[in-house]
Amino acid sequence: MVLAPIVAGLVLGCTGPCWQKAHRQVMATDVTWELLSSALDEEGRLTAGACETLCSSSSSLDVEEVHGCVLEDSPVERPTTADTSIPGDTTDTAPPPPRVYFEVTCDVTGTTICKGRHHASIAARHSPVSPDPLARYLAAGWLAEATSVQAFLALAVELERFGAPAELVSRAREAAVDEVVHARLMSALAPTAALGTATYRPTPARDLLAFATENAIEGCVRETFAAVVAAHQSTAATPAYADTFAVIAEDEIRHADLAWAIDAWALSRLEPADRARVESARQAAVEELYAGIEEPAKGTGEVGLPSASEMRRLHDGLVARLWSVAAA
């Protein structure tokens, strides 16, 4: 997959976030017993504070408000790793035991994250607070780039764990270096007082299906769209911002290409039923992205964000030239 020609065809003249509506939704999150037990009260119940702790962390949603949560009855076992055996290696190595997780269903309001690269090791992002919409936008862009460093480092760790080709591992590490540069570029534009923060957790031990599903959503949909938006901004922003977005767009296009290369490799190792689950998750992310498009905030015109109608045109172009082709 080479994304650059597709982007060139769409941007006629993210880092930058695709502008999305905050919406209420129900999401499921897996938690370990260690985390769950620390959140329960003395009678073993989930309090409002516990729901806030367990549901505020999401790799795909910037959670603004937690309305409540429910602990499902039965824990589930998940493999700690997928098969990472090397072809031709006859060493008899016992697989690690599965890990027990508890599913918590969360009722939350938040904004779908479609900026930077996200990963399950990013526990939560605490968005910047500022009355100035441009300052908020630039600070959010910095936070997206800064957390993407961790996302790509963790991605490289998991690719190695799953026995992925060395080239993919190397490209993930190179992308982390790119994100350091992006974060520095955005920090030079964003007011220091407005910058947000993030919290992290260890790289999760999960199976290839979960890894591939996250990559399909975060990389093949959200990161791909963010690369197109950044390319648009490189031609539409004022001179004070255009050069920064040009640098970021060029790198983000390579990162999106990496996501699609990972997708092809991971799908080749999954069973047909699991491949269908990954493809279904990717399609759902495409539809969710479209449903959430709205006009950029007033006061952010200098950064050249597409209008809602332009966003829809870019989205439709990716559907026609990329996403529908991948689903065929």
Q: Is residue 41 part of a domain?
A: yes
> Both 57 and 15 in a single domain?
no
> Both 14 and 37 in a single domain?
no
pLDDT at residue 212, as a whole number: 97
CA distance 271 to 252: 30
The closest of 112, 117, 122 to 224, measured between CA atoms, is: 117
| pLDDT tens per residue, range 169-179 | 999 999 999 99
Q: Is residue 89 part of a domain?
A: no
> Both 8 and 72 in a single domain?
no
Beta strands in the chain (DSSP E): 22-32, 61-71, 76-78, 99-112, 122-126, 197-200
Q: Is residue 92 part of a domain?
A: no
Output phi, psi for 103, to 5 deg. -95, 125
> Both 104 and 71 in a single domain?
yes
CA distance 243 to 256: 20
Can you give the pTM of this predicted structure? 0.71
Q: Is residue 146 part of a domain?
A: yes
Question: Alpha carbon of 220 to those of 50, 128, 259, 281: distances in Å?
Answer: 33, 27, 6, 11
The per-residue DSSP string of 233-270 comes to: HHHHS-HHHHHHHHHHHHHHHHHHHHHHHHHHHHHHHS
pLDDT at residue 65, as a whole number: 82
| pLDDT tens per residue, range 113-149 | 445 677 887 776 666 567 788 888 888 888 889 899 9
Q: Is residue 318 part of a domain?
A: yes
> Both 172 and 254 in a single domain?
yes
> Both 165 and 141 in a single domain?
yes
pLDDT at residue 84, as a whole number: 29
Higher model confidence: residue 309 or residue 325?
Answer: 309
Q: Is residue 151 part of a domain?
A: yes
Please give the structure tokens belonging to residue 148: 């993407």
> Both 163 and 53 in a single domain?
no
CA distance 233 to 241: 8
Average pLDDT, the chain: 81
In the predicted structure, residue 261 carries a pLDDT above the cut 50: yes
Q: Is residue 299 part of a domain?
A: yes
pLDDT at residue 2, as a whole number: 65
**Among the three residues 113, 141, 159, which one is the final residue of a domain in this structure?**
113
> Both 242 and 306 in a single domain?
yes
Residues spanned by the domain of 176:
4-20+131-327
pLDDT at residue 249, as a whole number: 93
In the predicted structure, residue 219 carries a pLDDT above the cut 90: yes
State percent of the chain over pLDDT 70. Answer: 79
> Both 162 and 245 in a single domain?
yes
pLDDT at residue 43, as a whole number: 78
Please give the structure tokens belonging to residue 49: 């504070």
> Both 10 and 41 in a single domain?
no
pLDDT at residue 131, as a whole number: 76
Do 227 and 15 touch, CB atoms closer than 8 A? no
In the predicted structure, residue 267 carries a pLDDT above the cut 90: yes
User: Total structural domains in the chain?
Assistant: 2
Work out the pLDDT band at 271, boundaries 50, 70, 90: very high
The closest of 188, 66, 183, 61 to 125, measured between CA atoms, is: 61
- Burial class of residue 245 in the structure, from the number of CB atoms within 10 Å of its CB (0-12 exposed, 13-18 middle, 19+ buried): buried
Q: Is residue 136 part of a domain?
A: yes
> Both 31 and 109 in a single domain?
yes
What is the average per-residue pLDDT within 292-310? 92
**Among the three residues 86, 113, 140, which one is the final residue of a domain in this structure?**
113
What is the average per-residue pLDDT within 13-29? 57
| pLDDT tens per residue, range 172-205 | 999 999 999 999 999 999 877 567 777 778 888 8
> Both 61 and 188 in a single domain?
no
The answer to which of 18-32, 60-74, 91-105, 119-133 has the lowest mean pLDDT is 91-105
CA distance 319 to 327: 10
| pLDDT tens per residue, range 67-87 | 888 887 777 665 433 332 333
**Among the three residues 66, 87, 113, which one is the final residue of a domain in this structure?**
113
Residues in CB range of 243: below 8 A, 6 or more apart: none
In the predicted structure, residue 13 carries a pLDDT above the cut 80: no
